[in-house]
């Protein structure tokens, strides 16, 4: 079976390599990626043909090339929302955490939980699956029965709302040591 598939691939797909490269040169603006595109395309076609041979191999080859280029363009447009820059390490020894720092961390976590709770249901669900359960964008879309584009929109909306809730409002009060019986600023009594 493998030898038959190899022969089919050579005669039906590799026979069009020159036309394929001309097609990629005409339609893909990055010359340094032409060979990578070709190899990825060959891999996709070989894997697909191992399941079912296409009835029109040449048409399948060029349609697959268009789809691959469209996928690459879509991926290039996705903007990462991962944190940037050097962040202080979050792993510290327990004896290094002062009561003030511990309290400040608890307050920040409480504010984040409240901000998450105020998100619209679908946004909250998408953020949870994407950031907490660490599912891929595609898996989130499949699980919720929505498009990947909709997942992107929910993430963007949620990030804006969370940023507004956490940073645009009044700054969180600095943790202070208060005497017993006295309320901390911003909490309890007015």
Q: Is the pLDDT of residue 56 over 90?
A: yes
CB-based contact 58:14 (threshold 8 Å):
no
Two structure tokens written together for 3: 């030898």
How high is the pLDDT of residue 19? 93
Task: Give me the residue spans of the domains in the chain.
Answer: 2-77, 99-168
How high is the pLDDT of residue 20? 92
- Which fold does the domain 99-168 belong to in CATH? Arc Repressor Mutant, subunit A (1.10.10)
CA 2-36-141 angle, to 5 degrees, is 85
How high is the pLDDT of residue 174? 38
Summarize pLDDT for 105-132 with one digit per residue, the tens: 677 777 878 888 888 999 889 988 888 8
Summarize pLDDT for 11-36 with one digit per residue, the tens: 999 999 999 999 999 988 888 889 99
């Amino acid at each position: 079976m493998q030898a038959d598939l190899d022969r089919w691939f050579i005669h039906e797909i590799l026979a069009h390599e020159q036309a394929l490269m001309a097609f990629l040169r005409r339609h893909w603006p990055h010359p340094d990626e032409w060979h990578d595109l070709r190899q990825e395309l060959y891999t996709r076609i070989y894997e697909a043909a191992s399941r079912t041979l296409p009835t029109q191999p040449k048409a399948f080859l060029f349609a697959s090339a268009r789809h691959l280029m469209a996928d690459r363009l879509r991926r290039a447009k996705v903007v990462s929302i991962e944190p940037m820059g050097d962040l202080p390490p979050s792993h510290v020894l327990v004896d290094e955490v002062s009561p003030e720092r511990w309290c400040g961390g608890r307050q920040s976590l409480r504010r984040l939980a409240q901000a998450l709770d105020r998100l619209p249901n679908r946004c909250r669900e998408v953020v949870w699956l994407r950031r907490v359960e660490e599912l891929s964008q595609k898996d989130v879309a499949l699980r919720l029965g929505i498009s990947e584009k909709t997942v992107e929109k929910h993430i963007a909306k949620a990030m804006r709302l969370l940023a507004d809730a956490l940073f645009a409002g009044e700054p969180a009060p600095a943790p202070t040591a208060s005497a017993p019986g006295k309320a901390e600023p911003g909490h309890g009594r007015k």
